[in-house]
Structure 1
Amino acid sequence: MVVRFNADIVGEIVRADARGESDAVMRSLYIRRNVFEVDLDAPVYRIIELQYFREDLSEKCLTYTKIDKSNWGDSTENPLLGREFKDEVTGGVLTLDGVVATVYGSCWSATALDTQSAWAIFSRRNPSVRVQSTPRKLLDAAMSNANKFYMLQHAIGKMQYATDDEIEAYFSDPDWQKHLDSLGQGIAASFLRLNENLSSEDEVRLIYDHLNGEWPAANVRLVDRFAKVPFDWMVAVDGVVVGPFAPDGEEAKVRSELLGLGINCPVISSPTRTSAG
């Protein structure tokens, strides 16, 4: 077994499983295992348009976007999708599409982006909020105990930035097997590389792999290029900042809506916001 991240935690999981530890203990360890190169409890942030935030809150889900070049508008996204390799055994052509074509992502940032330009870009100048959480809490909110394969479907990692040539050189290597391991860490890592021109976003990406199975089929809604995955917002939200394009009174409204859902967290307005309340 090739271990690419958190080898110490992988070892803990093996020992805990041998001891017959409880589901709660194992789940905590799986969360730690699936956080890649970012602190478990470091704050992360996401600017979300208010209409979509409210929709996800009401539906108790988080909406992820399918990761590919067309949806994400970047040539380095999902670099293994559609890439052909030579099968040394048969001499034929193979791809890894079977393991990379069903992956969805939600983009967060390790930086509390709070400039007029950042709000304009990430909210498309629509009323929006910036939600604060942590990698541990995001995985805790996304990993359902009812899903026996939750540990294989959810991960979060810090984006690694490089030049297009460096990224292409790594993924065009004919050794396609280097991306595969029993924990799926190599495939997850393939979604954590982007062009260095985007490094100012300081991205931390939450990943969902829509595997075949009873739980995903019954609980995850696929709508066009989106996956709406059950999500416990009460666990995830540490704070909310109302952005500059929100109308008067929106801060109070958002605070009231969150309290009505049992989410008691700080709700403030961005210093860039000129509207009141």
Structure 2
Amino acid sequence: MKSTQQIPRAWTENILNELTHDTAIYRIFSWKRFSEILAKNELILVNPDMWDDPFENFYLKADAYSGKDKVSLESLRKGCFGQCWTLNEDTDAMWRIYSPEKNGVRLKTTVGKLFRSVIEQQGILTDFSSYIGKVEYLTKEEIKTYHQQSFSQTMLGGQGTGFASMLLRKRTSFAHEAEVRVLASLSSEYLFEYEDGLYQVKIDFEDMFDEICLDPRLEIGRFEEMKTKLMQKTSVPIIQSDLYHFDFQPINLDI
């Protein structure tokens, strides 16, 4: 593992929007995807074209001009990859959205652990090859204003933080997600390897994750069965979310 001395700028400056190395973050995966992560020891960052909200990556799809000449942003757009996490430990909305089959798995790590894996994957390509930051939530009008006033400075000014900030903005409709994004930017010479829009990041599962949390809607017997099987494959602590578990006390009607 590379020491922090070898990556001083990325390690200290490319963590944005009030996050720290020790900030806990979470992500819910389908059982199938979780099983792949466990078996392959890898996370997958995806191209923003695959993100659902069209307002998230409109900067990269917009037409850009220098004078009367149209400037292609295709290589920049295709060279971006990201993965979304959350600061929310346990919410009803997140389980329902990201675990529709009621058998999802929530993984817990830290900003520092996730970011280090991406940095080491890239091998210190440039000071602004990778970032991690908390998403800022804006209204549609605020996003449009940002587009009009700051687009050229961000895209053409050569500032890595400006580029990263483009992908750390989202509409207020999604504020409940309390999202954190890890971002990687590759130069065009590497893009032929990632034409499918997927960027694989190798990890050490045991070192990366602090906790495995199974879906709160699992029957207790099913949870115990899944836990037993997982304990044969990993030493990471395994729990079940207690989001819907209540210890009702008897009601005394004689009061």
Same fold (TM over 0.5): yes
Is residue 269 from structure 1 mapped to residue 240 from structure 2 by the alignment?
yes
The reply on whether 1:110 has 2:110 as its aligned counterpart is: no
> Structure 1 unaligned runs (5+)?
1-21, 260-264
Deviates more, 1:41-50 or 1:231-240: 231-240
Task: Say yes or no: does 1:158 pair with 2:130.
Answer: no
After TM superposition, give the deviation of residue 59 of structure 1 in Å.
Answer: 1.7
Question: Do residues 229 (structure 1) and 201 (structure 2) align?
Answer: yes
Q: Would the alpha carbon gap of residues 160 and 92 (structure 1) be closer, same or farther in structure 2, given more than 3 Å must change?
A: same
Change (3 A) 1:175 1:56: closer
The structure, 1 or 2, with the larger RCO (C-alpha pairs under 8 Å, 6+ apart) is 2
Structure 1 residues 24, 198: CA separation in 2 closer, same or farther (over 3 Å shift)? closer
Matched, 1:52 2:33: yes
Report if aligned partners of 1:80, 1:100 keep a CA contact under 8 Å in 2.
no
Q: In 1, distance between residues paired with 2:238 and 2:126?
A: 31
Matching residue's letter, 1:76: F
| 2:38/2:205 contact within 8 Å kept | yes
Contact preservation (8 Å) 1:40, 1:134: yes
Q: Which amino acid aligns with 2:202?
A: P
Could you say what secondary structure the match of 2:58 adopts?
coil
3-state SS in 1 of match to 2:60 = coil
Quick check: 124-133 or 166-175, which moved more? Answer: 166-175
Cα offset, 1:36, TM superposition? 0.5
Instruction: Give the SS at the match of 2:164.
Output: helix
Pairing 1:206–2:178 present: no
Alpha-carbon offset, residue 188 of structure 1? 1.0
**Structure 2 CA distance, aligned partners of 1:200 and 1:75?**
18
Structure 1's 194 and 54: CA in aligned 2 closer, same or farther, altered over 3 A? same
Greater gyration radius? 2
Query: Does residue 2 of structure 2 align to residue 25 of structure 1?
Result: no
Separation in 2, partners of 1:271, 1:75 = 34
Q: TM-score, normalised by structure 2?
A: 0.82
Asked if residue 77 in structure 1 is aligned to residue 56 in structure 2, the reply is: yes
Distance 1:172 1:270, change over 3 A: same
1:75: Cα distance to partner? 2.1
Shift of 1:46: 0.6
In structure 2, relative to structure 1, the CA distance for the partners of 1:30 and 1:120 (3 Å cut) is same
Once the 2 structures are TM-superposed, how far is the Cα of residue 76 of structure 1 from its aligned partner? 1.0
Residue 239 in 1 paired to residue 218 in 2? no
Looking at structure 2, the residues matched to 223 and 254 of structure 1 have their Cα atoms a distance apart, in angstroms, of 34
**Aligned-pair CA distance for 1:142:** 2.3
* Contact 1:64/1:229 (<8 A) preserved: yes
Point out where structure 2 has 5 or more consecutive residues left out of the alignment: 246-255
Kindly provide the CA deviation profile for residues 133-182 of structure 1, in whole angstroms up to 9, marking residues without a partner as x: 11111111222277241754321100000111110121133761344444
Question: Structure 1 stretch 53-62 or stretch 128-137: which is displaced more?
Answer: 53-62
Q: Residues 42-96 of structure 1, C-alpha deviation per residue, up to 9 Å, x if partnerless?
A: 111111112112212222210122112xx222121112122123313xx212243
Counterpart position of 2:76:
99
**Number of residue-to-residue matches in the alignment:** 239
Is the 2:128–2:161 Cα contact (8 Å) retained in structure 1?
A: no
Instruction: Note the aligned Cα RMSD (angstroms).
Output: 2.7
**Against the structure 1 CA distance between its residues 25 and 243, is the aligned structure 2 distance closer, same or farther, given a 3 Å change threshold?**
same
Distance 1:47 1:28, change over 3 A: farther
Q: What CA distance in whole angstroms lies between the structure 1 residues aligned with 2:150 and 2:107?
A: 41
Structure 1 length-normalised TM = 0.76
